[in-house]
Amino acid sequence: MFTKLQPKENIQKYIDGLQLIGSLSRLSSESSIPYLYYRIAERLFCSSFKAKDFSRSDISIDAKKDNIGIGLKTFLAGNNKSFQKIAEFNKEQSNYNPLKLKDKIIQISELRNKRIEFTKRATEIENSIYHCVVREQNKFKIIEEKLDSINIDRIKNIKENSGSIKFDDGINEYSFLISKSTLTKKFQTSSYLFEIEIDILEDPLRDLHNFFKTKLFEKSLIKTETIYLPLYGRDKHVFEKSGLNQWNADGRKRDPNEVYIPIPIKIHKYFPNFFPPRDQQFNLKLPNDKNLLSKVCQDGSKALMSYSNRDLGQWILRDVLKLEEGKILTYKMLEELGIDSVRIDKYGNNDYEINFAKSGSYEEFITDLENNNT
């Protein structure tokens, strides 16, 4: 579905990388089943296939290649029918908990589908798949299958067990884990694209030590910084006349797409040189790989805007959130999508990248900063 259509040299690079990482399994495990940390699997996949890495963006995919979105998984084969996490709905519990069993599953499914559609709009993908590295004794198996929305009209076989609710839509089987507010999907792993034999080194520490002592390496470090910004104001409220609703402010006539992302004073306190000076333009790369000329502006440099005051709003409000002109954005709308923040990565002095982040990301970021500084 994806991997077999890639250039042979890229496939071989990926296989070589998996064999290398798998061979080092005894750095962390004594098992004959090779170990693969999911973050390494994500980096290796994106590097091998020259895919865009979304693994830190808290959306429904982890990578993008051309117009295909890819959800990346790595897990044990088990009995070849493994339920794996595909979404989490902690913040939405108050909405679905009071509902009856079927209504609860329908609402959870609707939330899942909204996030998939949001991801499609934000990254401009047309199709999505799962790419899984399944771990077995001395081997990895690669499987791929469609990343489907849930067909709500065909939901059936709803059964509540101890701690979970199972159901299917005629295509996929799902299980909702009540205590963790987590939706899982059954992956069939008996058929696969190809398998990779893994020779696990007996003493990888020794082998690494010998290798690095006999090779010369040049360190090439790219200095980057990362911050998180809220898409809301105080008390988790998207104000009706500022921020992402700036178009609705009083005074002069405004473009219906005029918005800004708030930059709280704490960001300037901890990262005084993260952004260029006020009104100085810089490049802001979007998840769809397009670039916006952007700036910080307003008193205290409290606003992140596109240089043309309509471009950022066109992207967030119209292209991604699909809000009609004149409709007020609320925090509840963001909450339903599981996002309320953005992550800004800085590369060099003038290049930045923006990605959506899960609900609570800004607050967690600030809490960590304040704890570290005390």
In this structure, the dihedral spanned by the alpha carbons of residues 275, 276, 282 and 283, taken in order and rounded to 10 degrees, is -30
3-state SS assignment for residue 344: strand
Over residues 28-76, the pLDDT tens digits come to 988 999 999 999 999 999 999 999 999 988 899 999 999 999 999 999 9
pTM of the model: 0.83
Tokens of 99: 């509902």
Q: What is the mean pLDDT of residues 113-120?
A: 96
Over residues 282-306, the pLDDT tens digits come to 999 999 999 999 999 999 999 999 9
In this structure, the dihedral spanned by the alpha carbons of residues 43, 11, 135 and 180, taken in order and rounded to 10 degrees, is 40
To which H or E segment does residue 225 belong?
strand 224-230
Higher pLDDT, 316 or 251: 316
Over residues 66-112, the pLDDT tens digits come to 999 999 999 998 777 789 999 999 888 988 999 999 999 999 999 99
CB atoms within 10 A of CB 347: 14
Helix and strand totals (H; E) in the chain? 9, 18
Q: What is the largest CA-CA distance in the chain?
A: 72
Is 222 buried (19+), middle (13-18) or exposed (0-12) by CB count in 10 A? exposed
Q: What percent of the chain has pLDDT over 90?
A: 84
**Which residue intervals of 275-374 are DSSP H helices?**
311-313, 331-337, 361-373
Specify the pLDDT at position 222: 57
Q: Please, what are the domains in the chain?
A: 3-152+190-214 (no CATH), 224-373 (2.40.330.10)
| Range of lowest pLDDT (16-20, 230-234, 283-287, 348-352) | 348-352
Ramachandran bin of 243, using left for φ above 0, alpha for ψ from -120 to 50, beta for the remaining angles: left
What DSSP state is assigned to residue 162? T
Q: What is the mean pLDDT of residues 11-26?
A: 96
Task: Kindly give the pairing relationship between strand 52-53 and strand 164-168.
Answer: unpaired
Mean pLDDT of the chain: 92
Sheet holding 68-76, edge to edge: 52-53, 63-65, 68-76, 127-136, 139-146, 194-197
